Amino acid sequence: MAKKIKVGFFSFTCCEGCMISFIEILNEKYFDWTKKIDIQYLRALKKVKPIRPMDIAFVEGAISTQSEIRKLKLIRKNATKLVALGSGAINGWPSNLRNDFNDVKKKEIAELIKKLNQIETVSPIKKFVKIDDEIPGCPIDQKLFIKKMEGYLNA
Ligand code: SF4
């Protein structure tokens, strides 16, 4: 039997809607994909464990803290392929809306930003690491995700 590919799903600053979309996709694809993929990381389904080498990391959400930057770099280091999932990871939206607040609004949220250890601006993941592919949408386009995943499995 062919070796399963190791995949991980990781969430940063976002609503985690792309991960929910992936779980919805499993309603259709679970029995087929479970023979081919080994899900190592997916907070909604599995116990969190230290990050180890994997074939594909799927990342949703934008980056808003120093600890997220460190974790993202660790994921990049351990992933042969890194795929950005959804608009938050690809271009920062909608998590980055606060970047364009006016001065009054920025002052209003300043205390909260400090309390949550957030950095000044919210950014897409490619500001910090190289990405190998992306699946757009908010949430992701499910048909496109299936097509991409089957492409990775048959590569
Ligand atoms: S891209 Fe949209 S749906 Fe996906 S995690 Fe970000 S905010 Fe949620």
Residue 110 lies in a domain: no
Query: What's the mean per-residue pLDDT of the chain?
Result: 96
Residue 104 lies in a domain: no
Rounded Cα–Cα distance for residues 14 and 52 (Å): 24
Rounded Cα–Cα distance for residues 12 and 72 (Å): 9
CB 146 within 8 A of CB 152: no
pLDDT per position as a tens digit, 120-149: 999 999 999 999 999 999 999 999 999 999
Residue 62 lies in a domain: yes
- Ligand 1 mean position to 2 CA, how many Å? 33
| Number of domains the chain contains | 1
Indicate which CATH number applies to the domain containing 56. Answer: 3.40.50.700
Ligand 1 atom nearest to CA at 18: 4
Residue 40 lies in a domain: yes
Residue 135 lies in a domain: yes
Residue 59 lies in a domain: yes
Q: What is the pTM of this model?
A: 0.96
Q: Can you give the residue range of the structural domain that contains 80?
A: 5-95+122-153
Name all residues whose Cβ lies below 6 A of ligand 1. 14-18, 60-61, 86-88, 94, 138-139
